[in-house]
Amino acid sequence: VRTALIVPAAGSGVRLGAGRQKALVEIDGRALVRLALEPFVAVAHIVEAIVVAPRGAMAEIQNALKGMTWPGCELRVVAGGETRQDSVRSGLGTIESEVSLVCVHDAARPLVTQATIMRVLAAAAEHGAATAASRPSDSLRVVREDGTTQPVDRDKAWLVETPQAFGYDLFKRAHQHATAVRFAGTDDASLVEACGGATIAVVESDALNLKITRPEDLEVVSVLLRTRSTRTL
């Protein structure tokens, strides 16, 4: 199934506080945006990959991707927007190829595996919409504004991650609808759902698919990446 990949990498990384944009932060000499993109290179279905960069760091992102070879795929860097949703919409607007699916994966998740990618794409091809997710290990509790609290049934709760993937027409419609009704979602699956497009298939990630948000996440991910690379040596 011909697929376009959008990698939102235009955030500033305020919570990481690394003194530069998060996607440019390096682990063992490779920028996060590159680490998050590399697992996709072996996925044959991807014919176009769009990295959405911070407006003021287009050249730096280009530079971080220099030397990456991706046969059969056109790799491009475009400028992002104020919010993640704006950035994804910008990327979506630049898709040039005829594709049936669009996959979205955050530059902040460099641990994604090829197995997870393949299963999310397969689920999206079958159901129209799919997301990677994992099960919480802690107990969950909702805290309301009036101070009352309530437990959440953990067996039904999932932590939503990327990659997510959607039918191309459905995804375009979802972003148009969100813009029209001013719906702001924290992920793309909620936009698709809000336009009544599809039910979202939930695919359990096959390994820790951590998102780098705070400095301690960077330490954990560095260790995990090193362990993985020595394992495959």
* CB 13 to Mg ion: min, Å: 8
Q: Indicate whether 187 belongs to the interface with ligand CTP (CB under 6 A).
A: no
- Closer residue to ligand CTP, CB minimum distance, 107 or 123: 107
Q: Indicate whether 216 belongs to the interface with ligand CTP (CB under 6 A).
A: no
* CB 231 to Mg ion: min, Å: 31
Query: Which range touches ligand CTP (CB under 6 A), out of 64-72, 77-85, 128-136, 189-197?
Result: 77-85
- Closer residue to Mg ion, CB minimum distance, 13 or 163: 13
Of 4, 5, 6, 23, the residue at the interface with ligand CTP (CB under 6 A) is 23
Of 48, 106, 161, 188, the residue at the interface with ligand CTP (CB under 6 A) is 106
For helices 84-92 and 168-181, what crossing angle results, to 10°?
130
Residue 80 binds what, of ligand CTP, Mg ion, none (CB under 5 to 8 Å, by partner type)?
ligand CTP
End-to-end CA distance of the chain: 32
Residue of 6, 10, 32, 179 lying closest to 79 (CA atoms): 10
Q: What is the token pair recorded at 153?
A: 């049934």
C-alpha distances (whole Å) from 177 to each of 83, 90, 132, 195 are 17, 15, 23, 6
> CB neighbours (10 Å) of residue 203?
25
> Phi then psi for 15, rounded to 5 degrees?
-70, -25
The residues pairing with 167 across neighbouring beta strands, listed in sequence order, are 101
Residue 8 binds what, of Mg ion, ligand CTP, none (CB under 5 to 8 Å, by partner type)?
ligand CTP
Taking the C-alpha atoms of residue 73 and residue 71, their distance in angstroms, rounded to an integer, is: 6
Dihedral of the CA atoms 64, 73, 8, 28 (nearest 10)? -30
User: How many residues are there in the chain?
Assistant: 233
* CB 218 to ligand CTP: min, Å: 12
* CB 226 to Mg ion: min, Å: 26
**Which x/- pattern, by CB under 6 A, does the window 33-52 give for ligand CTP?**
-------------------x
Binding site for ligand CTP (CB under 6 A): 8-16, 22-23, 52, 80-84, 87, 106-108, 211, 213
